Amino acid sequence: MNPADALVLKGLSRVGDDSVARILRFASAQGLSTVEELSKIDISKLPLKTIPSALKAFFDAQDFESARTTVEKDIETWRTQGITTIILGSENYPKQLLSLDKPPPFLFCKGNLELLKHTSTIAVVGTRENTRKGEQIASKTVEEFAKRDYLIVSGLALGIDTIAHRAAIDCNAPTIAVLVDLISILPSSNRALADEIVEKGGLWVAENPPGTKAIPAFFAKRDRIQAGLSTALFAIETSIDGGTMHAVNAALSMRRPVFVPDATAAGYPDLTIRAISGTQQLINDQKAISYTRESYTKIGAQLEQIASQFGSDIQEGLPL
């Protein structure tokens, strides 16, 4: 199905992203490319728990061209802003994201789309209230993997995310910023950094249509995309209840390795500080692997093996 028709479906009342993703998978399996063709199918056959009344009314009204024209104007406006719309099932959709429990049906991107094909990728994330030691570890981690031609993913937040993106740029490594909205860049203080990411061959990615108003739940939701795009996740510093844990849990759910710094080897003078309480807990719970400066070569070999499996052990899309 084309992006315009998929967005028409998303605009219907009570047709959420999960429903759109399921419909896209169904349409692909049935060889349906337009909403007109989809409307000719017995609506009860759609792989939805309940059929939204708005969807039934839309099919009954048969006013597809009018709805499509409105959405196409939006897509063209976004295109003039350098924004590309990618839908689940399309050739440009990154296969790594198919491991997510609920892959986003849409990706809105600005910058180098070729990066979506890159499977040697790590997410470097962490607290907004990082320590000086955390800054050093984040920068060194990015530097070491940049030498190995890895792409760096993060979320453009203050703290560790900002440090990771900056280190990638300084190392001439490509970097992807996973955002909530591509129009209103948040935090606004990182707008210049965001622009530099694109100027230096990087990419912005969001699952929400451009202009979407940011709410706290969207930031937690986007964290799964950071993990999904990556071969492994490096949580540099986080508290036990920090937002970084959303990305950690997403990585664990996909059986992607989570690495955290060995705090003792790194020389933290106090192992009880809040900034590393979460990473310490992950080690204690055996949910993460600790690493040191001597670990990079071994980790690199492990990640190459994981990356080689993308596409061979992932079902193409969502279960119906």
pLDDT of residue 96 exceeding 70: yes
Reply yes or no on whether the pLDDT at 22 is more than 60: yes
- pLDDT mean across residues, the chain: 94
Q: Do 167 and 236 belong to one domain?
A: yes
The residue among 58, 80, 102 that closes a domain is 80
Q: How many structural domains are present in the chain?
A: 2
**Cα separation, 288 vs 103, whole angstroms:** 23
171 plus 253 within the same structural domain: yes
At 158-170, the pLDDT tens digits run: 999 999 999 999 9
pLDDT band at 308 (very low <50, low <70, confident <90, very high): confident
pLDDT of 315 higher than 80: no
Claim to verify: residue 144 and residue 291 sit in the same structural domain: yes
Specify whether 18 is located in the same domain as 156: no
For residue 67, what pLDDT is reported? Answer: 93
Outline where DSSP puts E strands in 168-257.
175-179, 203-206, 232-235
Residue 278's closest CA among 217, 224, 218, 236?
Answer: 236
Percent of the chain with pLDDT over 70: 97
Tokens standing for 146?
Answer: 């940049």
Record the tokens describing residue 203, joined without a space: 């990419």
The CATH number of the domain where 118 resides is what? 3.40.50.450
For tokens 């992932």, the residue is: 314
| 89 within a domain of the structure (yes/no) | no
Distance CA 198, CA 161 (A): 16
- For 220-277, what is each residue's pLDDT tens digit? 999 999 999 999 999 999 999 999 999 999 999 999 999 999 999 999 999 999 999 9
Q: What is the pLDDT of residue 305?
A: 85
In a domain, 37, yes or no: yes
Task: Give the H/E segment covering residue 125.
Answer: strand 121-125
**Looking at the domain assignment, is residue 102 inside a domain?**
no
Q: 161 and 303: one domain?
A: yes
Average pLDDT over residues 40-69: 95
How does residue 198 score in pLDDT terms, banded at 50, 70 and 90?
very high
Q: Which domain holds residue 42?
A: 3-80
**pLDDT at 313 exceeding the cut of 80:** no
Q: How far apart are CA 156 and CA 69, in angstroms?
A: 34
Question: Does residue 76 sit in the same domain as residue 118?
Answer: no
Asked whether residue 88 carries a pLDDT value surpassing 50, the answer given is yes
Neighbours of 217 (CB within 10 A): 9
Q: Give domain status of residue 167, yes or no.
A: yes
Strands 106-111 and 121-125: unpaired
| Euclidean distance between the first and the last CA atom of the chain, given in angstroms as a whole number | 16
Residue 275 and residue 161 share a domain: yes
Same domain, 294 and 148: yes
Is the separation of the CB atoms in 124 and 142 below 8 Å? Answer: yes
| Whether 73 and 133 share a structural domain | no
Tens of pLDDT along 285-301?
Answer: 999 999 999 999 999 99
